[in-house]
Structure 1
Amino acid sequence: MAEAREHVLTGTRGSITVREWPAARPRYVALLVHGYGEHIGRYEEVAGVLVAHGAAVYGPDHAGHGKSAGERVLIEDFEDVVTDVHAVAELARSAHPDLPVVMIGHSMGGLIAARYAQRHQDGLTALVLSGPVIGDWELPRRLLALDEIPDTPISPAALSRDPAVGAAYAADPLVWHGPMKRPTVEAFVRTLETVAKSGDVGSLPVLWIHGDDDRLVALAGSRPGVEQLAGTGLTERIHPGARHEVFNETNKAEVFADVTRFLDGVLAR
């Protein structure tokens, strides 16, 4: 795989750092949308799989995350983050104007990707949601009911059955290890409501991947949101025993095959 490049874009609330993983002769563009508190650098292996499959891959660090500007993990309006991701899509399209574009969003990135698909459906060929924050996610309501949000970081063990994944996460200086911030939690609630009332994505093919032992974003909570968002083209793959980060799970080869098989079917239409 060719060495990744970095771009810096002007985002809605400061500079946004974007990573590009180029492909020699790409047949599609893949946009990666990362989750809460992390950064796009954690998707190196996912990008490698996609590049080998024929994708030119792009992904931003969201505002307040990774190498991008902004107070850490502060997101006051997810509509701004969707706008930033659209700027990344435009960067990719300027380099590859004739290629189909697919979006892959994990966790909070699944919420952002879902809203992106509602706003920019015509610009996408497929949508992949991994452990998406969508539907009935009870954590924000529980946190907002408290006078003070506790400083309880995400448990590394909740990410994957592979302990090396949790250890790397805990040691990563670009990962946020502190408490959630109230404006961000409030923005989650608003955007969950916005996605729920903004309609489905029609015939856009959607792949939903989830671990049935996801302790951060419960499978049962995501299901109604995914089913409401997806129109006529939903494919689901639920992995027994898998935790939140299915792309970092012990059966990740199976998960990657889910994605590439799905995309092959979409791109062949």
Structure 2
Amino acid sequence: MKKEILSVRSACDGLPLSIGIFSPETANGEIKGIFQISHGMAEHKERYFPFMEFMADNGYAAVINDHRGHGGSVKSPDDYGYFYDDTAGFIVEDLHQVTLLAKERFPGKPVTLFGHSMGSLVVRKYIKKYDDEIDKLIVCGSPSANPLVGAAIALVRAEKAVKGDRHRSMAIQKLAFGSYTKNLSGSLSDNAWLSVNTDNVKDYDKDRMCGFVFTLNGFRNLFLLMKQVYDPKGWNVKNPDLPILFLAGAEDPVIAGEKNWHKSQDFLRQVGYRNISGILYPGLRHEILNEASRQDIYENILEFAES
């Protein structure tokens, strides 16, 4: 397996984007396809390296970039949670730029795009414009539609007018995530909702590149993504038979229950996609790729990529 870390400038604004590529060492240089990952909020690409190694060992070139405001895609560590954009557009264009880079590196290969949590919002906004650039889509740990997202955007706007877009609001942080541990009595971490695997939660808690509070600018981007992804306007479905797989832990508070998880799938059907399926994992929480049973999930993902 070959591992590369590189940096490219975003075509949007010149921001350095840190990219990781894991590719198989094959006798003839052939690979099965490209597997591109869009990571979640307040984390970084390195957390996906074990999974990427698995995909590379099974013949895929696995590609990931740190989203702007995360990991190595910042001008300064003080900018974690700051997107350098207030439209929720640059993060999507960055992802598309990485798709094109991967296609140039591995020409003629099918692309499976995987998005987790916030990254699942990014990939769904991506397909509003670029669904003909990929061959399969995986939506993992998806935030469900929230009728209060408009009010949240207004709240961020009001607070930003007073404190500036780099302010980190604990009030908005609590509003967004405060309810996630309410049913986890006796938990030793505010991030226990992430995983049944306590070792994973401990690793997340001690990682300085994880768990940071978003700036108001970051929250604006997050809430705009939520609004835009569930807006029936603006969809330009060019690839209606795109295979789409939803994955989630049944105990993940982000999906807001099985009924809402199915509604997220139904929404994509309503805008024109016909080939949608889902797997809900009993007993698991938000980060299913980091649970003790992750090998089974790895295999499910590989099976979908190869189908």
TM-score, reference length from structure 2 = 0.78
Contact kept, 8 Å, 2:22 with 2:52, in 1: the verdict is: yes
Aligned to 2:117: 107
Does residue 1:27 correspond to 2:32, yes or no?
A: yes
Contact kept, 8 Å, 1:137 with 1:218, in 2: the verdict is: no
Q: Which amino acid aligns with 2:263?
A: P
Larger Rg: 2
Deviation at 1:83, TM superposition (A): 0.5
Query: Does the residue aligned with 1:78 lie in a helix, a strand or coil?
Result: coil
Cα distance in 2, alignment partners of residues 79 and 217 from structure 1? 23
Aligned to 1:116: 126
Aligned to 1:186: 220
Cα distance in 1, alignment partners of residues 89 and 144 from structure 2? 15
Q: 1:209 aligns with which of 247, 257, 260?
A: 247
Aligned to 2:192: 157
Does residue 1:9 correspond to 2:8, yes or no?
A: yes
> Could you report, residue by residue, the CA deviation over 1:79-124 in whole angstroms, capped at 9, with x for unpaired residues?
1111001111111111111101110000000000111122111110
Deviation at 1:182, TM superposition (A): 2.4
Aligned to 1:173: 208
Contact kept, 8 Å, 1:160 with 1:250, in 2: the verdict is: no
Aligned to 1:228: 267
Q: Which amino acid aligns with 2:89?
A: E
Contact kept, 8 Å, 2:36 with 2:63, in 1: the verdict is: yes
Q: Which amino acid aligns with 1:211?
A: G
Cα distance in 1, alignment partners of residues 147 and 204 from structure 2? 23
Question: Which range moves more in the overlay, 73-82 or 157-166?
Answer: 73-82
Does residue 1:252 correspond to 2:294, yes or no?
A: yes
Q: Which amino acid aligns with 2:216?
A: R
Query: Does the residue aligned with 2:286 lie in a helix, a strand or coil?
Result: coil
Q: Point out where structure 1 has 5 or more consecutive residues left out of the alignment.
A: none
Q: Point out where structure 2 has 5 or more consecutive residues left out of the alignment.
A: 160-168, 179-189
Does residue 1:72 correspond to 2:80, yes or no?
A: yes
**Aligned in 2, Cα 1:53/1:65: closer, same or farther, shift over 3 Å?**
same
Query: Does the residue aligned with 1:216 lie in a helix, a strand or coil?
Result: helix
Contact kept, 8 Å, 2:19 with 2:64, in 1: the verdict is: yes
Cα distance in 2, alignment partners of residues 162 and 176 from structure 1? 17
Q: Which amino acid aligns with 2:262?
A: R
Cα distance in 2, alignment partners of residues 140 and 31 from structure 1? 30
Q: 1:218 aligns with which of 256, 263, 267?
A: 256
Cα distance in 2, alignment partners of residues 116 and 145 from structure 1? 26
Q: 2:136 aligns with which of 105, 111, 126?
A: 126
Cα distance in 1, alignment partners of residues 154 and 199 from structure 2? 33
Cα distance in 1, alignment partners of residues 101 and 245 from structure 2? 24
Question: Which range moves more in the overlay, 256-265 or 158-167?
Answer: 256-265
Contact kept, 8 Å, 1:103 with 1:128, in 2: the verdict is: yes
> Could you report, residue by residue, the CA deviation over 1:8-31 in whole angstroms, capped at 9, with x for unpaired residues?
111124111101111223110011
Superposition misfits of 4+ residues, deviation over 6 angstroms: none
Count of aligned residue pairs for this structure pair: 263
